[in-house]
Amino acid sequence: MNHYYESPLSSRYASDYMLRLFSPETRTLTWRKLWVSLAKAEMELGLPITREQVDELAAHVTDIDDECIRQREKEVRHDVMAHVYAFGKAAPSAAGIIHLGATSCYVTDNADLILYRDGLRYLRGELLKVIANLTDFAQQYKALPTLGYTHYQPAQLVTVGKRAALWLQDFLSDLDEIDFAISNIHFLGCRGTTGTEASFVELFEGDTEKIDQMNHLIASDFGFSSCFDVCGQTYPRKVDSRILNCLSSIAQSCHRMASDIRLLQHDRQIEEPFEKNQIGSSAMAYKRNPMRSERICSLARYLMADAMNAPMTASTQWLERTLDDSANRRISMPEGFLCADAILRLTQNVTDGLHVNEKVIEKTVREFMPFMATENLLMEAVKRGGDRQQLHEIIRKCSMEATAKMKNGETCDLLARLAAESAFGLSEGEMNELLEPSLYIGRCAEQVDALAAKIQPLLKGIDRSNAQISL
């Protein structure tokens, strides 16, 4: 039994990849790789740093003494300088040139940008798996008529696949946003205390071209093609805002889809996966609750709220640097990524095993089909010489009467009522011929095919294995 609080995101929901990405070990290793890259670039550009010193730093990147770091931070009250000290102890010949010309944000901010970029790339792959699942589902059920709902009241027919296409379109929008966010993450580089690069002007004796070369070399080491044009001590915190807004957008799409599934599972039209030995309720053993969809909605609300941290932080940065962003970002940014990861894992699981109860859907459609067909019935009656306005009033009156009977638990007798009206000129049998559901779905199947054709190029070569949900 653990006696200390542990985030459920790490203990229950997030993937191993995301937990490792934002682990203290990965952060420390990234800081050390940044120091190695800085030393190497400075050496190559003529500063008095030897190859032996660079090699020693590189050889001891993974030689991490956690206890030494903790004790040193207690003494100096500065996390970066505690790490510099411990790295210097591991590589003593290079201790004197670690962090040369840099400020703390060189490692903290550049490391964050690396982690966020890699996290977004991973989430992009997870989002594509959801898109792949839903594309298959939409195409499979593109022509299956189902009752549409507006205001959660019975409306004109759509298809099961067309409804999934609505979810798909939201996720495609999220994919666009995540691609934009990735493409607009630039490197901070090594800019010194207030972003002026003054320390490097001194170190390179006024040769500013070498400063640009240094930043390009370091950025290239970590897969970045460019640095921000200007900055203070930190990279612009609007980057964080853009990233969390992107993650929030994913949460919104997942929440909307999961909410629809929860509504449809109410009368068993569609059901999320349910394990053989799964218990729906501790008291009501018959229950089959949409637990995973509910969890998606729950976590999505957290992520949408978490996204508010970034704009509030970005809007309150003072001049070239303030530290009131630090404690907030340590929590809000990793938790945002872990939460988005958890939501997408759940969404993969749900979309990979959605169960469509076609007989239930057919029964629901048939129940309301007479009402859905009234416009077509009216048109047919007009063709046979009826008065449109008179027929419209007959339909309204008969519909109200049929609905009243249904509210008493009786079956719908709308067609019989309409057939009894001589002005209608249609028998009940003739009306039934006009009640084929496939006649009322418009271009649903065509719309699904068009969207799927747009999506298919995006799915080439993706890993289609979905996350397994153990809890």
Catalytic residues: 151, 281
Other CB atoms within 10 Å distance of the CB of residue 448: 25
Q: For 382-400, b where at least 16 C-beta lie within 10 A, e where not — what string?
A: eeeebeeeebeebbeebbe
User: What is the distance between the alpha carbons of residues 379 and 431, in angstroms, rounded to a whole number?
Assistant: 12
Rounded to a whole number, what is the distance in angstroms from the first to the last CA of the chain?
18
* Short-list 120, 50, 144, 143, CA closest to 91: 50
| β strands within 250-388, DSSP E | 270-271, 355-356
Q: List for the chain the helix, strand, coil content (%; round to 5).
A: 65, 5, 30
User: Is-contact 215 227, C-beta < 8 A?
Assistant: yes
Angstrom CA distances, 297 to 304, 333, 351, stand at 10, 20, 15
User: For 213-248, b where at least 16 C-beta lie within 10 A, e where not — what string?
Assistant: ebbbbbbebbebeebbeebbbbbbbebbbbbbbbbb
Contacts of 306 by beta carbon, 8 Å cutoff, 6+ apart? 244, 248, 332, 335, 336, 339
Sign for the pseudo-dihedral over CA of 70, 71, 76, 82:
negative
Let me know: does 51 contact 43? Beta carbons within 8 Å: yes
CB contact at 8 A, 431 and 419 = yes
Instruction: Name the residue type at position 179.
Output: D
State the alpha helices, DSSP H only, in 373-443: 374-383, 388-407, 414-419, 428-433
325 close to 317: Cβ distance less than 8 angstroms: yes
Tell me phi and psi for residue 227, to 5 degrees. Answer: -110, 160
Burial of 193 (0-12, 13-18, 19+ CB in 10 A): middle
Q: Report the Cα 460 to chain-centroid distance in Å.
A: 20
Residues with Cβ within 8 Å of 211's Cβ and at least 6 positions away in sequence, in order, are 197, 200, 201, 204
DSSP, res 354: -
